[in-house]
Amino acid sequence: MNTTIMKKIFLTSILAFAFALTGLCSVTIAVLPYDVEYQGRIPNRLDTPEKVLEARLLDGENYQNSMINYLTKLGQKRKYAYLDINVIGQVQIDAMLRQSGIDTTAASMTNAEIAAAIGVTHVVRGRVTRNFIMSEAEAVGLGMLAFLSGQPARPATSLISIFHSSGDNFSDGNVYTMDATRSTTSTRPNQRAVRDTFRKASRRTMRAIKKNSEI
């Protein structure tokens, strides 16, 4: 066997190994819509059960989209390149869930069960409880009174409790979980109040996935 043929065989073997390694390390992440619950003094604009449900579902989709965006940006970083990360888009996730007959919240299923059912390696989801304390008008009024009395304050309009979890299709245990609580005010709306928790959760989730893949 001449040297040229040996070189070709060697290069082919290297490429085949690299391809196989990429396949083994390939990570697909599906972020489910977050399960949102409202408590306390629900705003007057949500004066029917239908409007409450619509607002909850919209919040859940917004949280889902935030997590997808953060994870997508992280997945493009060089240190995660070898994992071949694919964060699935919102529309595709909804289609995969419908096709598998899974409710978007899938409260009775583990992350591993959902991941296996829709054909991904990892599932990320969470619960959000928003406890409304007062209206924005009341918060502005109290803030003004506090300012005039020389004791500035930012009364909370709601308290938001967030639980993030991520798991893979290999085990029932979660790869990562995180609890956080944030408050909203008349000048600090819902999305702005929780943005940092989703940023932190996405970073820690990605680090946990990377660590878990190295075991």
For residue 14, tell me if it sits in a domain.
Answer: no
Residue pointed to by tokens 């680090």: 207
Parent domain of 138:
26-213
Would the pTM count as exceeding 0.75? yes
Burial class of 68 by CB neighbour count within 10 A (0 to 12, 13 to 18, 19+): buried
Percent of the chain with pLDDT over 90: 44
What is the Cα–Cα distance from 132 to 4, expressed in whole angstroms? 74
- State how many domains the chain has: 1
For residue 111, tell me if it sits in a domain.
Answer: yes
For residue 6, tell me if it sits in a domain.
Answer: no
Predicted confidence (pLDDT) per residue in 137-175, tens digit: 554 444 444 444 455 556 788 899 999 999 888 776 788
Q: Look at 64 and 110; give whichever has higher pLDDT.
A: 64
For residue 129, tell me if it sits in a domain.
Answer: yes
For residue 4, tell me if it sits in a domain.
Answer: no
List 40's β-bridge partners, or say none. 132
Query: What is the pLDDT, as a whole number, of residue 61?
Result: 93
Q: What are phi and psi of 169, to 5 degrees?
A: -90, 15
For residue 16, tell me if it sits in a domain.
Answer: no
pLDDT band at 102 (very low <50, low <70, confident <90, very high): confident
> What CA–CA distances, in Å, run from 215 to 5, 85, 174, 209?
37, 17, 15, 10
Residues 6+ apart with CB under 8 A from 197: 162, 164, 178, 180, 182
Predicted confidence (pLDDT) per residue in 177-196, tens digit: 999 999 888 777 888 889 89
Predicted confidence (pLDDT) per residue in 8-24, tens digit: 333 333 333 333 333 44
Query: What is the pLDDT, as a whole number, of residue 152?
Result: 54
For residue 40, the domain's CATH number is 3.40.50.10070
For residue 9, tell me if it sits in a domain.
Answer: no
Inform me whether the pLDDT recorded for 4 exceeds 80.
Answer: no
Inform me whether the pLDDT recorded for 52 exceeds 70.
Answer: yes
| 6 CB-side CA count, 13 A | 3
Inform me whether the pLDDT recorded for 112 exceeds 70.
Answer: yes
For residue 11, tell me if it sits in a domain.
Answer: no
